[in-house]
Amino acid sequence: MYAAKARRVDDCIVSLSQPHVHPIKRGKAGRDTECGVKLSASVADGYSFLDHLRWDRFNESCDFVGQVEAYRRRFGCYPESVHVDQIHRTRANRTF
């Protein structure tokens, strides 16, 4: 990195004991970087469903349609309401 004057390394190993953990640039809650798992979950009738669990970086808004469709497959109908963070309010998701 020093010789190439680079500040980024894709798929770098951050921890030898947990090589699947990658830093995630977030910039929220006073932290620039977080390490750990990212997950997409849904809650229905008091039960939690883990739809995606990933140790690498991904954009949660891409999971929106898949999670709503997974709900429809589980329960046979679309949810009465969907509550999401602002990141999910993309034009494609709103159109859906």
Residue 91: what are its φ and ψ, rounded to 5°?
A: -60, -45
Number of independent structural domains in the chain: 1
Residue 5 lies in a domain: no
Per-residue pLDDT for 85 more than 90? no
Least confident of 2-11, 20-29, 65-74, 79-88: 20-29
Contact between 84 and 73 under an 8 Å Cβ cutoff? The reply is: no
Residue 50 lies in a domain: yes
- Per residue in 17-37, pLDDT (tens digit) is 666 666 666 666 666 666 667
- Give percent of the chain with pLDDT exceeding 90: 6
Residue 80 lies in a domain: yes
- Per residue in 58-76, pLDDT (tens digit) is 677 788 888 889 889 989 9
* Domain coverage including residue 44: 23-95
